[in-house]
Chain A
Amino acid sequence: MRPGSRLAAAWAVLPNLTVRARDDQREQAVLHRLACWAGTFTSDVCCLPPQTLLLEVAASLRLFGGAAALFERVVNGCAEQGFEPRAALAPTPLAAQWLAAAGDAVPCLHPDELPARLDKLPLAVLPITAPRLSRLHGFGACSLADVLRLPRAGLARRLGADLVADLARARGELPDPRPRFVFPERFAERLEFPAGVENASALGFAGRRLLAVLCGWLTARVAGIRTCVFEFEHEPRADRFPVSVLSLGFAGATRDVDRMAHALLERLPRFELPAAVVAIVLRADTSEALPGRTAGLFGERGTVAGADSLALLAERLQSRLGPGAVHGLAMVAEHRPEKASRRVTPPPPSPGASAIEPTRGARPLWLLAQPRMLREEAGRPHCGGPLRLLTGPERIESGWWDADEPGAVGDVRRDYFIALSVRAEWLWIFRGREGWFLHGMFA
């Protein structure tokens, strides 16, 4: 088949041909998504619709370990995004475009080797119309080398000045500035499935693709996010477009794709979807500045070893156990035991923050969530047998200020004792208005 032939002719040759209308809008969306993703490698991206993406990578070569390594990562990354790129690396943008069009994937690194590489290219890579191309063939030219050998003035008169200028730009003889791709202020990318998906692992796979795009966008903006939102679109049913929303939160600002993907993969199996998913949208509205980390010069480990991985651990635990289940502890300067210990969101405050004078009396390691009432026999508290009071009383009388607030501990008047049970349990009990209560254990 050739481009330009009629559909009827195509069907005559290939009866089983499946025909799909070209959707420019979706093509542009894909190119936009890839441009965002390319932010992983450089902030200088140029988007050339309908199907070309230019990455200026001169400044990124060292960071990614050389041109060959970088080139490989870009190509592999494209494959992970689900595309098979025709990629090329060259000192000028036009040369890279032409090499890619010719399918020459060997990186061209030096401007010196550029003319030789360009010479070998076929004429089909040139951006000219078919009649002009046939004229060039009429001149006896078969490759770019033949064209370059022709006198420039005559070439410009016969085929237009554009072609001559393009040839000069490709060889680096004329400057070739390109418009930069502007990374959007807010991130929202959509990924469609060819058919409804119900499998959590397939959703995770697609979600990871979108997260890689998000990380490219964040890298280019030198930013990190704390929250992002996945929207799972279901098949439209009776004029409704049901959407399930899954929000991911992170302990600190991040742009680490593995970390985000972990959080997603932990959440997905427990996330209930009412129907098959036809598309995923990933949104990130607020991002905050997150400078890159300086790599260690001597291969040393960070001075705060583990602080980073601990945040990761807390996040992973949280994503499976639920948001309130993982916490740190902090002391509060309060006399009422219920209030003296406070749950804090991990990571806990830095060591200097908890400079609170310790209480004088002994405090138990365990505190019961609610004081448990104890039986009283012959004036003595019982807990599986009579209790032996060891020290006390330590009076705690405090809290009049929140007596009327709902859910507060309120005004307490208690006499605390340390008691030993017959089973050798060391207990912290108190006597209040209603009798004896067990409040803690010196475990």
Chain B
Amino acid sequence: MAAPAGTLSPPTLRQILERPDVWRGDALAGTRLPGVPTGFAELDGELPGGGWPRGGLIELLPICDGVGELSLLLPALARVSNDELSWLVCIAPPYSLHAPAWSAGGVDLSRLLVAGASGHDAAWACERSLVAEGVGAVVAWLPDARSTVLRRLQLAAENSRTLLFVFRPALCASQPSPASLRLLLAGEGDQLRVRLLKRRGNACATPVLIAVQRPVPLGHALAGSSTSAPAARRLSQSAVA
């Protein structure tokens, strides 16, 4: 590497190790910007920067829709929308966003933008949202994105302070990805099991169990499934009658 004239001394190893894009394989990487707290201390401890890292693509691979993948993001999204007063952009969501639930989750609806798109248009919309000023987080569903598209988004994210979450099917877990952080999500009881497939720094072998917000605690379920169904039937039949 050519040193600029005047500073003749080459960089020391220590200086190189202090760079945010260089990290040791036996420890978590440092980050240029502090992460956005996830709202779950167990997860914060395992992420470089102590939270969702800015300036990188975060790839989320839920086993199936509805395991709690959005509840995992909600605390951070609420923080972005309410504390930082910045915008939240959802791109190509697979279902309709139900406003009362998002509002109850702490997201300010007046700073939420939803864009329906498909294929390349969705990736393009991500890239545009990343460079726009005032956008705090982008959440995108890109089930068919190729690795070239993801690489491009990763590069766009590196030049931006915006959080970028991309949801892809769990089948993609075996494929290589340019994302700086990859999480595999599965439900386990009323908790969410998060496996860190990839992060900057040492590998994380054990999955993290996170108590995401659930509509009801499991313990307070209707007393046993055998009695609940007939009860339900009786009630609904009386409703229909």
Contact = CB atoms under 8 A, between A and B. Distances in A.
Interface string A386-427: 101111110101000000000000000111011011011111
B236 interface: yes
A65 B33 CA distance: 37
9 contacts: A306-B135, A346-B113, A359-B100, A363-B101, A364-B215, A390-B216, A391-B215, A415-B235, A443-B71
B117 interface: yes
A364 B121 CA distance: 27
A120 B186 CA distance: 86
A349 interface: yes
Given A326-B116, A331-B109, A354-B109, 8 more contacts: A310-B134, A341-B99, A368-B96, A391-B216, A423-B64, A425-B67, A426-B66, A442-B71
Interface string B64-97: 1111111100100000000001110100011111
A365 interface: yes
Contacts of B94: 366
Given A306-B133, A341-B100, A389-B232, A325 B116 contact: yes
Given A310-B132, A426-B68, A340 B95 contact: no
Contact of A350 (B95, B96, B110, B116): B110
B146 interface: no
B65 A443 contact: yes
Contacts of A431: 232-233, 236
Interface residues of A, number: 74
A421 B67 CA distance: 10
Given A328-B114, A443-B68, A306 B87 contact: yes
B14 to A, nearest CB: 37
Interface of A: 305-307, 309-310, 312-314, 316-317, 320-321, 324-332, 337, 340-343, 346, 348-351, 353-354, 358-359, 362-369, 378-380, 386, 388-393, 395, 397, 413-415, 417-418, 420-421, 423-427, 431-433, 440-443
A390 B65 CA distance: 19
Contacts, number: 225
Contacts of B109: 328-331, 348, 354
B134 A369 contact: no
Contacts of A350: 110
B102 A415 contact: no
A328 B111 CA distance: 8
Contacts of A310: 87, 113, 132, 134-135
B187 A307 contact: no
Contacts of B135: 306, 310, 313
Contact of A305 (B113, B133, B222, B236): B133
Interface of B: 63-71, 74, 85-87, 89, 93-105, 108-117, 121, 124-125, 128-129, 132-135, 186-189, 214-216, 218, 220-222, 225, 228-230, 232-233, 235-236, 239-240
Q: Which 10 A-B pairs have the closest CB atoms?
A: A306-B134, A424-B187, A441-B66, A362-B215, A341-B99, A425-B66, A366-B95, A313-B132, A443-B70, A431-B236
Nearest to B91: A317
